[in-house]
Structures are given as C-alpha cells and as structure tokens.
Amino acid sequence: MAVAVRDELNVYESAEARFETAAAKLGLEQGIYSYMKYPEREITVYIPVSMDTGQIAVFTGYRVLHSTVRGPGKGGVRFAPNVSLDEVRALAAWMTWKCAVVNIPFGGAKGGVICDPVKLSKTELERVTRRYTASLSDWLGPERDIPAPDIGTNDQIMAWVMDTYSMHARQAITAVVTGKPLDLGGSQGRKQATGRGLMICCNKATTKLGMRREGCRVIVQGFGNVGSEASLLMHEAGYTIVGAADAHGGLYDEKGIDIPRLYDWVNNERRPLSEFPGGEKLSAREVLFRPCDILVPAAIENQITSENAHRVDCRILCEGANGPTTAHADPIIERKGIFVIPDILGNAGGVTVSYLEWVQDRQGFFWREREVNEHLEDVMEHSFDEVVRYAETHRVNNRIAAYIVAIDRVARALKLRGFYA
Ligand code: NAD
C-alpha cells in the first residue's frame, strides 16, 4: 500500500487532522491545545485465557482514557482482530468530542481486545471479558471510566463486565458499564438508540433541505446494531431503504428493500444478508456508490476515501460508524455540496442513552421507553441545531463546526478547573 494511502487510513491521524483544523479556527491557546491533543492515560494489558482445548492463549487488550475534564471517561469496548492502540486512541478522543457535542457530562475513553469473537466459544469469550475487566478494575468505575458495547461486543459481554467489577468491589455496581441487559440495570431504548439518533438527525436534515421523507432513498452500509436498527426505524418512518450491506456483501433494490423481513433474516434467522432474495447483489463497498438521497455508512472506519469519494452520489451523508470518511475525503465531499452529519453528532444517540442508563442506575429509578426516547430526541435535535447554526454563522463545514462546539466546551471546563500542581 502506498505510504500516502496508509497515512490516510490511519484513524488516529484522521481524527487529529480534524482536531487540528478546528483548534486552529477556534484559536485555541497552545497549552490547552497540547493538553487536549494527548490522552490522559493509555493502558495495555496482556490477558492470559484458558481456552476450551486446555491451552493458554494470551490476548492483548487496551483501554485509553482521553479526557476526564468534563466527567468520567465513557466509551465502548471493541473485540476485533484488527484492534490497534492507534485505533483505540483515536476512538477515545472521538468519544471526548462526541460527549461534548451533545453536552453530556462525560469525558472520552475507548477499549479493545485483539481477538476474533466469532471464533471464540461463549465460555472463552466470557473468560476474555472477565480477565480484561479484572485487569482494568482499578481504573474503571461509575465515577472513573464507564465502558459500553462496540463492534464485536454486546449486552451479554457488558453483563460480564458488570459482574466481574462488582465481584472485585464486593457489591453490585450496575453503573460501571452501560448497554447492559434490561434485567441488569439496562435502559429501555438503548439497543435502538444509535439508530434512532441517526434517524432524528436525518429527519432534521431533510426538513432543513426541504426534502420529502416519503420515498426518500436511503442506503445503509453495516447491518449490525447500528445499521439494522437505523434501517428498521427509518423504514417505519417512511424512508425507502434501497441499499444495505454487511461485511460479506450488499444488496441494492431501487423499489426498496423489505426491511422488517431483512431484519428478521439477519438478526433472528442468522442468515447472510447477501443471500436475501431480490435486489441486485453488490460488494459491501460498492453499495456506497449507488444513487440515493441519504447515505448512512454504519459499519467500520475508512470506507469513503480520497480515492472513491468522487463516486458518492447522495444529498445527505449521515455517519453511523466512527470515522467512515477519511480526512482526505472531506474536501471532495464538501465540493460535491453534500450535507454531512458527522459521526460525532450522527451516532451520538448511543452514548446519550448510555448516559441516561447511567443516570437511571445511579438513581435506582427506571423510565419508560417513551421517556428515554423523548430525552434522546431533545438532546439530538438541540445538538444538531447548535452544530448547523455554528457552521452557518462561522462559514465552516458541519464536521469542523461539531469539533469546534465540542473543543470549546472542553476548553471552557478545563479553564474553570485550572491545572492542578
Ligand atoms: P456491529 O458489530 O453490531 O455491526 C457491524 C456491522 O458492520 C456488521 O453488519 C458487519 O457485518 C458490518 N461490517 C463489518 N465490516 C464491514 C465492511 N468492510 N463492509 C461492510 N460492512 C461491514 O457494530 P455496531 O455496534 O453496529 O457498530 C458499527 C459502527 O458504529 C462502528 O464504527 C461503531 O464504532 C459505531 N458506533 C456504534 C455504536 C453502538 O451503540 N453500537 C455507537 C456509536 C458508534
């Protein structure tokens, strides 16, 4: 791979490039800039796990705490073969900006374990999770750092995190982790929250651009937690989902895909998305370049790059994944006049309901789904308005506006706290 392309695909550099641009436009003082640029702490753990064969395997895990300026660290745990410290570092910083954009009282963190969860048995997965959590238990906690699900992890894994931490603390501490099952202090609406947040942003954007929702063509790449829930909710709201993809391939159907049936096919019947009857079969990447009104990349990072951004054919790009568009692709997308809902705003519905879960756990009183959804809608709509207003009044694109709103909030908190010693 050419060096330029490799640099472009380094998510840490992509995240940093946006931070640098926003910090320069904001006129951030040098000291504050340096403080925010680096994480507070990076932890690497080597996790010995007894496999079902009886052999010991050692996995590498990370937890990066980027900032606790506005509150405890918050961020998911990713189980995937290609997890790297650079990636976790970038994702931790993004969490700081994401929590600040939607103005919830958290800092940013992220974790990951290099493993392939599909190849691990359930008991091996449980042992990896428990040992990873135990190794980090001094640094986690409802007031310190609160994990959540991300790629390759789910509510069962969060339940094991909660149990392991609680065993060490000698009491049940549900608020140490979010995205838990409902029976264990989880929140109504958390499962759909990221997808719902994306839809709320799309509703705002279509209204702003004078687009009709009925018949509005949407393509969603990624059919996991974020992509499948976003597709289902948007389908129910009257959008027409014309394209969908997972890691193994994609589908395109101009007339619209039967999303409730596809949801069932993938999530309940556990069948491959690409074998769903009807529509044109495409590669997972190719689906991004079919014509649509709204494109929702909700799979992994680095999907839209300087090499392919010219092929994107939509009016609204609403980012469900973290970092689906590289920094080098940003100017190409901007020149095409595409209205961008950047990841740190678009997918913030997940962390917003994680915050609501943490609040409910700490108060020991749980809300109905309607109430959770109302809070979420309020936060997302307000944040969308703030970002777009900033972009329009300061003549910057939506992504840089979101970063500026976020960085400014963290900088103000930092100045109020001052520098200890
Ligand atoms: P997931 O593991 O549930 O689903 C990922 C989906 O992407 C799967 O359908 C998978 O097959 C697909 N995929 C993987 N590689 C692909 C590729 N190369 N091309 C096309 N599809 C591919 O993960 P998730 O929780 O849905 O997270 C998806 C993205 O959203 C990630 O970037 C994650 O960081 C981000 N995110 C998740 C949440 C959340 O609440 N889960 C919140 C904010 C952001």
Structure tokens at 270: 């556990």
Q: Is 233 helix (H, G, I), strand (E, B) or coil?
A: helix
Give the C-alpha separation, 357 to 81, whole Å. 29
- Show pLDDT as tens, one digit a residue, over the chain (421 residues): 454 556 788 888 888 899 999 999 999 999 999 999 999 999 999 999 999 999 999 999 999 999 999 999 999 999 999 999 999 999 999 999 999 999 999 999 999 999 999 999 999 999 999 999 999 999 999 999 999 999 999 999 999 999 999 999 999 999 999 999 999 999 999 999 999 999 999 999 999 999 999 889 999 999 999 999 999 999 999 999 999 999 999 999 999 999 999 999 999 999 999 999 999 999 999 999 999 999 999 999 999 999 999 999 999 999 999 999 999 999 999 999 999 999 999 999 999 999 999 999 999 999 999 999 999 999 999 999 999 999 999 999 999 999 999 999 999 999 999 988 7
What residue type is assigned to position 369 of the chain? E
Residue among 226, 283, 302 to mutate when testing ligand 1 (max atoms within 8 A of CB): 226
> Looking at ligand 1, which residue's alpha carbon is closest to its atom 42?
350
> Looking at ligand 1, which residue's alpha carbon is closest to its atom 4?
224
Q: How far apart are the first and last CA of the chain?
A: 46
Q: Is 279 helix (H, G, I), strand (E, B) or coil?
A: coil
CA of 228 to the centre of ligand 1 (A): 10
Q: Is 396 helix (H, G, I), strand (E, B) or coil?
A: coil
CA of 321 to the centre of ligand 1 (A): 6
CA-atom Rg of the chain in angstroms:
20
Cα distances from 375 to residues 69, 155, 389, in angstroms, run 24, 22, 21
Residue among 150, 177, 198 to mutate when testing ligand 1 (max atoms within 8 A of CB): 150
CA of 417 to the centre of ligand 1 (A): 36
CA of 181 to the centre of ligand 1 (A): 19
Give the C-alpha separation, 333 to 43, whole Å. 36
Structure tokens at 286: 């190719």
Residues in the chain: 421
Give the C-alpha separation, 169 to 6, whole Å. 43
Ligand 1 atom closest to the Cα of residue 91 is 34
74, 110, 180, 191: which is the annotated catalytic residue? 110
Distance of CA 308 to the CA centre of its chain: 23
Give the C-alpha separation, 84 to 113, whole Å. 9
Residue among 156, 194, 275, 302 to mutate when testing ligand 1 (max atoms within 8 A of CB): 194
H-helix segments, 347-397: 349-363, 369-394
DSSP letter (8 states) at residue 107? -
CA of 227 to the centre of ligand 1 (A): 7
User: What lines the ligand 1 site, CB under 6 Å?
Assistant: 149-152, 194, 221-227, 245-247, 284, 298-300, 320-322, 347, 350
Helix (H) or strand (E) run with residue 261 in it: helix 259-263
Give the C-alpha separation, 346 to 189, whole Å. 17
Catalytic residue check, 110: yes
Give the C-alpha separation, 205 to 333, whole Å. 16
Read off the pTM: 0.95
> Looking at ligand 1, which residue's alpha carbon is closest to its atom 2?
151
DSSP letter (8 states) at residue 306? T
Give the C-alpha separation, 379 to 186, whole Å. 20
Structure tokens at 50: 């007894």
Q: What is the pLDDT of residue 4?
A: 58
